[in-house]
Amino acid sequence: MSTTPLAATRRATITDVAREAGTGKTSISRYLNGEMSVLSPELRARIEAAIERLDYQPNQMARGLKRGRNRLIGMLLADLTNPYSIEVLQGVEAACQALGLMPLICHAANEVEMERRYLQLLTTYRVEGVIVNALGVREETLRPVGGGGIPAVLVDRSVEGLVADMVGLDNRAAAELGTRHLLEHGFDDIWFVVQPFEQVSSRQLREAAFREVMRGVAGKDEGGQGGARGHTLVLNLADPEAVEHALAELDRAIDAAGRSDGAVANAIDNAIDNVSSSSVGKPARIALFAANAPVALCLALHLKARYGADWQARVALLSIDDPEWAELTGVTTIRQPTYEIGYRAVEFLHERIEGVQTTARDCLLPGELIVRASTSR
Amino acid sequence: MSTTPLAATRRATITDVAREAGTGKTSISRYLNGEMSVLSPELRARIEAAIERLDYQPNQMARGLKRGRNRLIGMLLADLTNPYSIEVLQGVEAACQALGLMPLICHAANEVEMERRYLQLLTTYRVEGVIVNALGVREETLRPVGGGGIPAVLVDRSVEGLVADMVGLDNRAAAELGTRHLLEHGFDDIWFVVQPFEQVSSRQLREAAFREVMRGVAGKDEGGQGGARGHTLVLNLADPEAVEHALAELDRAIDAAGRSDGAVANAIDNAIDNVSSSSVGKPARIALFAANAPVALCLALHLKARYGADWQARVALLSIDDPEWAELTGVTTIRQPTYEIGYRAVEFLHERIEGVQTTARDCLLPGELIVRASTSR
DNA sequence: CTGTTAGCGCATTCAC
DNA sequence: GTGAATGCGCTAACAG
């Protein structure tokens, strides 16, 4: 049996160690803070021994109280269910590790009220900064942070009039990338499916970019992508009834597109039914563009239930985010540089905490298109 | 413009509030702790106003220091990448919410060294308890917790000689359930695939239960499940080379099984080739039993890459854990009561924190078999 | 090089 | 009912 420290009941304090080492608290404190040069080797050894003997561990809370900094930062996540979140988190953790910070992770489970509560809780714990990836990102809820409050950096969202850094995907570029990919592969009936916009700027940006590209090709009648139509479908995942309605609308479109022979035979159809590219009378090649992984999953599950395992023969699916099941099902995706997003967010925050006072910065990282069978057969 | 508090630079303290309200700190403290009955309505109103005006929020750290309890608990997770973890986490969060606790989430990313560091960090922050779901769950690493140290509850793992509660899946029953299911559906060549056992008791238990069931049927020659063979394959996901080797072994078995006509036609094969059920000369119906979701994903990805989208016609896959892609790909699973596991873990911990001193308890919850196309066609 | 002193923000006796 | 005093565990001047 190894030497179990006596202090099984109460943790040793700095005072205990000082007494045990036969010295004052200051020296212990110095030892703890690495000010070795000012300690005689002899004293140092005694302290070391005492700490060992008492199994002493300094109380971070007390340190924080005194120093005014506790090395804690808050990480507010809207939805841990979204693989995006946990990937970003990994970057955050790595950066924290490197910078000696400790992330306090708060999961708001898509509830704005919870976000508010957690934000308050974080300030109450006097975190030195917060990384926010939430829904209710608006000036009022974020009052306590940014600007005059504690340093903050926004992930995947931006809000006007708030002094805070922001890091995330280059949403415009990503949405354009995806839309162009679909157009180039001959899809001419494209549905952009997105959760309710609320205050989430990334959703708005992605949809806007999609719409803009589609508007650009709407006029052109020649070329492979003439007359393509774009639609936006809002899918409120939190409301089953709304989901059902939205999916029903989608089903009608898919059924209509597949009327003549099914989408797989479209190339042939085009050759035969070679009328003008007006969308009437010609079976459209239909594609779904999911604004993120949760939406994509919802769509895929529905389509599989409705059209069977071979659903991808009828509809193409492209998604922003690259969940683990994408490779498995052959769904084309746009992968976000999630790890880097998290890492950079912490770096930004750290700079602000250390007092590097700059104006609010935006860091837009590019997405990577990963073409899979879904859109390329 | 609403009244922005002046204290943009320094947070207000209890002293500020006392001065602002023209009273002593004690009354403020009483107000904060809800001892309303001891405050004159008049003073109470003044305090309320002062707090409002200064946007005062009590410092939890200081409170914790004084009270000796900070309402923080640690949640140590081996692998956030595993959907199991984040589902458990949701239960944990809900329970914490209900009990007024704040979980400090630590992600060890499958590194034992990190687990050690985080455990130390947690004690350093004087958390009131820890919930541990880690790899290196052994007596020595857990020295600081359990027994004489801070209260602890283990999730999905148990370790001898440690005074701590444990809550998790009934691994024996779950593995038996899955194995029996496969046998009943005529699979007679079953591979149990699991990560290296290390200190993880659940892996050991699952494999042991599987092996026991297989041993039970190995002798019987009659009945639909006579002569079925069971194998255990260890898949070290952390080592790509090891994975490759293991998968190659699996491939050989699958190729051998599918030699005559492919697994789908097995019922017919059985009727024609009606020799004794000795496993030679008869194409076996092969099934993979994944010990958890990460393993299942690895297998599925490999099989898809090797045998194409239709891989499930050749091999059946059953997995403990029910990841989001299971429904999408039609893989049979055994779902764990993850949410409840998390919730119960916090409840147990809370009781211990509150001093309910009992002997170590084990809480085994049942898994639910979800039959999908993979094993039932 | 080392020890003494004085708080950090708050809760808790204990008097008034 | 209310407030002044004391100390939680630690750090940061200050002295020696």
pLDDT at A122: 92
- 8 A C-beta contact, residue B124 and residue A57: yes
Tokens representing A58 are 């300094």
Give the pLDDT band of residue B220 (cuts 50, 70, 90).
low
Give the pLDDT band of residue B349 (cuts 50, 70, 90).
very high
pLDDT tens, residue by residue, A165-180: 999 999 999 999 999 9
Q: Does B374 touch chain A (CB under 8 A)?
A: no
End-to-end CA distance of chain A: 67
Helix (H, G, I), strand (E, B) or coil at B144: coil
Q: Which residue in A89, A148, A325 is closest to B325 by CB distance?
A: A325
In B, minimum Cα distance to A149 occurs at B8
Tokens representing B227 are 């002569």
- 8 A C-beta contact, residue B46 and residue B23: yes
pLDDT at B37: 87
Give the pLDDT band of residue A224 (cuts 50, 70, 90).
low
pLDDT at B272: 31
- 8 A C-beta contact, residue B275 and residue B281: yes
Q: Which residue in B61, B102, B309 is closest to A64 by CB distance?
A: B61
Q: Do B9 and A148 lie within an 8 Å CB cutoff?
A: yes
CA atoms within 13 A on the CB side of A303: 23
Beta bridge pairs of residue B198: none
Distance CA B286, CA B273 (A): 17
For chain B, the average pLDDT equals 87
Distance CA B363, CA B344 (A): 8
* Span CA (A43) to C1' (C2), Å: 10
Select, from the ranges A191-195, B1-5, B23-27, B225-229, the one with the highest average predicted confidence (pLDDT).
A191-195
pLDDT tens, residue by residue, B250-275: 999 999 887 644 444 443 333 333 33
> Residues near A245 by Cβ (< 8 Å), separated by ≥ 6?
none
pLDDT tens, residue by residue, B106-132: 999 999 888 988 998 899 999 999 999
In B, minimum Cα distance to A81 occurs at B86
Q: How many Cβ atoms from other residues are within 10 Å of residue B194's Cβ?
A: 22
Of A204, A207, A171, nearest to A341 (Cα)?
A: A171
Helix (H, G, I), strand (E, B) or coil at B365: strand
Torsion of CA A308, A309, A314, A319, to 10 degrees: 120
What is the length of chain A?
Answer: 377
Q: Do B301 and A327 lie within an 8 Å CB cutoff?
A: yes
DSSP for residue B283:
P
Q: Do A148 and B120 lie within an 8 Å CB cutoff?
A: no
Name the burial class of residue B202, with classes exposed (0-12), middle (13-18) and buried (19+) by CB atoms within 10 angstroms of its CB: buried
Buried b / exposed e across A104-142, counting CB within 10 Å, b at 16+?
bbbbbbbbbebbbebbebbbbbbbbbbbbbbbbbbeebb
In B, minimum Cα distance to A84 occurs at B81
Helix (H, G, I), strand (E, B) or coil at B138: coil
Chain A residues 213-252 with a CB less than 8 Å from chain B? none
pLDDT tens, residue by residue, A94-133: 999 999 999 999 999 999 888 988 998 899 999 999 999 9
* Span CA (B60) to C1' (C9), Å: 9
Q: What's the pTM value of the predicted model, to 2 decimals?
A: 0.89
Q: Which residue in B57, B64, B80 is closest to A89 by CB distance?
A: B80
B206: pLDDT strictly greater than 90:
yes
Give the residue with minimal CA–C1' separation from C6: A66
Q: Does A73 touch chain B (CB under 8 A)?
A: no
Provide the residue type at A360 as one letter.
A
Identify the residue whose tokens are 């269910």: A81
B356: pLDDT strictly greater than 90:
no
How many Cβ pairs within 8 Å bridge chains A and B?
107
Residue A119 with chain B: CB contacts under 8 Å: none
> Average of pLDDT values for A318-323?
98
CA atoms within 13 A on the CB side of A38: 10
pLDDT at A21: 93
Distance CA B28, CA A149 (A): 23
CA A6 to chain centre: 46
pLDDT tens, residue by residue, A349-377: 999 998 887 788 999 999 999 999 999 87
Q: Does A373 touch chain B (CB under 8 A)?
A: yes
B150: pLDDT strictly greater than 90:
no
Buried b / exposed e across B243-274, counting CB within 10 Å, b at 16+?
eeebbeebeebbeebbeeeebeebeebbeeee
pLDDT at A285: 86
* Span CA (B65) to C1' (D3), Å: 22
A345: pLDDT strictly greater than 90:
yes
* Span CA (A356) to C1' (C10), Å: 31
Residue B86 belongs to what H/E stretch? helix B83-99
CB-proximal positions of chain D, under 7 Å: 1-5, 7-13
Q: Which residue in B4, B62, B123 is closest to A57 by CB distance?
A: B123
Select, from the ranges A14-28, B130-144, B213-227, B274-288, the one with the highest average predicted confidence (pLDDT).
A14-28
Provide the residue type at A335 as one letter.
R
Distance CA A30, CA B34 (A): 40
pLDDT at B141: 72
Tokens representing B262 are 């492919």
Give the CA distances from residue A44 to residues A13, A37, A40, A74, B362, in Å, rounded to whole numbers and listed in that order. 18, 10, 6, 36, 45
CB-proximal positions of chain C, under 7 Å: 1-13
B174: pLDDT strictly greater than 70:
yes
pLDDT at B263: 41
